[in-house]
Structure formats: C-alpha cells, structure tokens
Amino acid sequence: MDGKKLLAFSDTHGSITTLTAVFNWAKDRLPPNDTISCVVFLGDGISDLGRAAEASGFFCDWKVVCGNNDYRTSSAPEAAVFDFCDYRFFICHGHRHSLYGGFHSLVGAARGSQANVVLYGHTHIPSFKNIDGILFVNPGSLGRPRSKAGSSFAVIECMPNGQLTVEFWGIGDKGKIKKLKI
C-alpha cells in the first residue's frame, strides 16, 4: 500500500495552462485512485489558482502562502506551519530568507517552528537537501523556470514505514506530465 502524498508547486506567474495541466494530472490521482491528500502553493501567482481550478474542475482545500509578487492580490500569510503524517511542515515563498546568500535564515525559521520539512519557492529551481536533519524542498517553478528541468512541481510521499520520499515532475510537450531526475 502506498502512503499519503502531498503536491507542492510554486511561482506560476500567470501560467494558467501549465497549472491547469498539473491540476488535471492531480485530479486523476485523488482518492480512491491514488493518495494525493494535501496540495500546497508556495506563492507568486495566487490569482492563478482559481482560474486554473475552474478550467480543470479541480477544487480542493489547499494550503497557500503569498510570494513577493502576490501582495496586491492576496491576504494569504507569508508563512504557515501544518502537520502532515507525522511531520511538521514550514511553508513560505522564501523571499524573506535571503536564499541566494545561504539557508541560515530559513533554517532558523524551521527550527523556530519545530519543522521537520520546509517547502519554499522563489528561486524557480527545483531542489531538495537535508540540512541539520531538516528536509528542504523547492518544487521549482511552473511559470518561469530557471533550470534545465523546465516547469516543475514536487510530490512528497509519506511511506507506510514513516519515511518521506520526494519526486519531481515536469511539464513536457503538449502539457504532458513526466517524472524528472533532480
């Protein structure tokens, strides 16, 4: 049996078509077909969510934080904490944490919230790393990617044995979803 899955994406920047493709893909994986049970948006394109949901018919309760380009369009918080499986997640866009100068600020925020996992965006580059026992995951960007991976998002699975796995997915030709190697 598979574990619970969390879908994370960021930085859509008006790319409704790409986000709609992800929502259509996610729709096919909701219970009972698969186990995506949590959807997280990490900022910069909050106004895209409703339009893509309408276009795809994918409606859910998602966790949302605002990015540096969302201030005029959203009252969403800059950061949030929630529990998923047996892990505490800290989510933010990342722009307030000087990411281009290192992870010191983000590590501090994670520790302050007692998080095991940090989801962040802003850099537009998919990555994951373990720093001092905390898993840091950036799903990349759906709207303006800055890596060879192209438009990307992440799926985090909590396995039945309690381990977390991270998979990155990309949008290929004609909106086709493909698994990426990051």
Per-residue pLDDT tens digits of the chain, which is 182 residues long? 466 889 999 999 999 999 999 999 988 876 556 667 889 999 999 999 999 999 999 887 789 999 999 977 778 999 999 999 899 999 999 888 877 777 889 999 999 999 999 999 999 999 999 999 999 999 999 999 898 889 999 999 988 888 999 999 999 777 789 999 88
pTM over 0.85: yes
- The CATH class given to the 4-180 domain equals alpha beta
The string over 78-109, giving b where at least 16 C-beta atoms fall within 10 Å of a residue's C-beta and e elsewhere, is bbbbeebbebbbbbbbbbebebeeebeebbeb
Q: ∠ at Cα 157 (178, 34), nearest 5°?
A: 70
Q: What is the DSSP string of 109-165?
A: HHHHTT-SEEE--SS---EEEEETTEEEEE---SSS--STT-SEEEEEEE-TTS-EE
